[in-house]
Structure 1
Amino acid sequence: MAANESADGSLRAPEDFRSSTCGDTKSLKKSHLACRGAVAIAAISLITAIILSSILFAIWGAAREEDPTFQNKQTENLQQCQKQCEDLKMMLHLATQDSRCRLCPEGWLWWRRHCYFFSVGLQENRRWKESAEFCQEHNSSLVEIKDDAEMDFLQGVMCNATKFPFLWVGLTDSQQEGRWLWLSGKDIQDHLPLVVQWDSDDRDCADLRGDGTLFAADCEEYGPWACKRES
């Protein structure tokens, strides 16, 4: 990894990203639940209104010839139902645009009930420890790869961006040389049969490459990283 830190040590980060990830975690979870409930209610109401509109239209088509006043009544009902549908569509749109309803903070990607932050393009490269501290400050941790599906997801993100030659991940053998542990304390073999390439005494931190391999690197080198947190 090559050093990319700016001369004055400053870091680039969008203002709304810095502010959106901090605050009371319990309040944030309650807000997400409330917003998800509002979206679900609006969606169910919209579907119900559409079904009722279809039923009313079918009844109107079958009975309009039997009662001269039936057509006018049903036309009014249909117009009212259509207006309710439009109101519900607007409600659903506004609910999903509310920043409190986002599953992840601004600048993070959602995948399988988790939020991921990829530093490339948003932050200057950092040492492994500094990357881990950044994740902790944002209620997350350096990525711990738990299964093949997650590995495929990370590979997909890296392949779609040419600036992702590698990423710091939450894997180190700093406690015991040759024993690679995730920051959660799990052994590298607990999730997947992974092996860290180029392991040596002075390479205690791991980075992920675009072909799904892990390489040992000097923890003092600078590089991009990926954080992971529950949504």
Structure 2
Amino acid sequence: MVASITAINLLFAVSLVTALPSSCPRGWIHRGTSCYLFVNDAVDREDWMVAMSYCNSLHAKLVEIETVTEDEFLRLYLLDHKMTGNYWIGMSDIQAEGVWVWTSSQNTPTYSNWNPGQPDNSGKEDCGSLPSWCGFHWNDYPCNMINNFICEKEVMSQEEIVG
């Protein structure tokens, strides 16, 4: 009898843990299955490679915008919060000029939202960005420029947070 009560209590505890909502780390924004960190502090702004390394150090990646819904969320978040400047995204054509790929997977984007006339590779522009001057539509930009950036990681379950 005691063993069966213990088993029932254990089963109940496990179901509570798996039923807890998913979460993002403090300071990150939850949307869909992702968490986003908008890095726009003047001290933390970086060139594209350092921004990518920064995100990787957080077990994240530079944001990879895969759908119109994700793109609209990011654009509206940046506009609603009156953010300005350029924001790095995780796309480049560093490997082959004109062949844009997401850096974490090396896959060609199936969705894009380039600003009209972009990408234009004006002055060795090999990294993707979201600049405020064009309403945060995509633009190519020189990778060595210092910019804001957005990190993205998968939503964590409470089990991952707790232990």
TM-score (norm 1): 0.53
Task: State the aligned residue count.
Answer: 138
Using the alignment, how far apart are the partners of 2:138 and 2:48 within structure 1? 14
Q: Verify the 8 A CA contact 2:47 2:146 in the aligned structure 1.
A: yes
- Which of 162, 185, 190 aligns to 2:82? It is 162
Q: What does 1:77-88 correspond to in 2, within 5 Å?
A: none
Using the alignment, how far apart are the partners of 2:14 and 2:129 within structure 1? 37
Structure 1 stretches of 5 or more lacking a match?
Answer: 1-33, 42-100
Equivalent residue, structure 1, for 2:121: 199
Q: What does 1:62-211 correspond to in 2, within 5 Å?
A: 103-121=23-41, 124-183=44-103, 184-188=105-109, 190-192=110-112, 194=114, 196-200=118-122, 202-210=124-132, 211=135
Q: Verify the 8 A CA contact 1:151 1:212 in the aligned structure 2.
A: no
RMSD between superposed Cα atoms in Å: 2.6
Q: Kindly state the Cα deviation for residue 128 of structure 1 after the two structures are TM-superposed.
A: 0.2
Q: Verify the 8 A CA contact 1:142 1:227 in the aligned structure 2.
A: yes
Q: Verify the 8 A CA contact 2:85 2:148 in the aligned structure 1.
A: no
Equivalent residue, structure 2, for 1:16: none
CA deviations over 1:49-108 (Å, ceiling 9, x no partner)? xxxxxxxxxxxxxxxxxxxxxxxxxxxxxxxxxxxxxxxxxxxxxxxxxxxx77011111
Whose Rg is larger?
Answer: 1
Q: Kindly state the Cα deviation for residue 178 of structure 1 after the two structures are TM-superposed.
A: 1.2
Q: What does 1:17-96 correspond to in 2, within 5 Å?
A: 37-38=16-17, 40=19
CA deviations over 1:154-186 (Å, ceiling 9, x no partner)? 011110223333210001110001111111211
Q: Verify the 8 A CA contact 2:41 2:148 in the aligned structure 1.
A: no
Using the alignment, how far apart are the partners of 2:34 and 2:136 within structure 1? 20
Q: 1:187 to 1:39 in 2, by over 3 A?
A: closer
Corresponding letter in the other structure for 1:37 = L
Q: 1:132 to 1:36 in 2, by over 3 A?
A: farther
Q: Verify the 8 A CA contact 1:204 1:217 in the aligned structure 2.
A: yes
**Greater fraction strand:** 2
Q: Verify the 8 A CA contact 1:199 1:215 in the aligned structure 2.
A: no
Using the alignment, how far apart are the partners of 2:76 and 2:52 within structure 1? 22
Deviation >6 Å, runs of 4+:
none
**Greater fraction helix:** 1
Using the alignment, how far apart are the partners of 1:220 and 1:193 within structure 2? 23
Equivalent residue, structure 2, for 1:78: none
Using the alignment, how far apart are the partners of 2:150 and 2:15 within structure 1? 26
Structure 2 stretches of 5 or more lacking a match?
Answer: 1-12, 156-163
Corresponding letter in the other structure for 1:103 = S
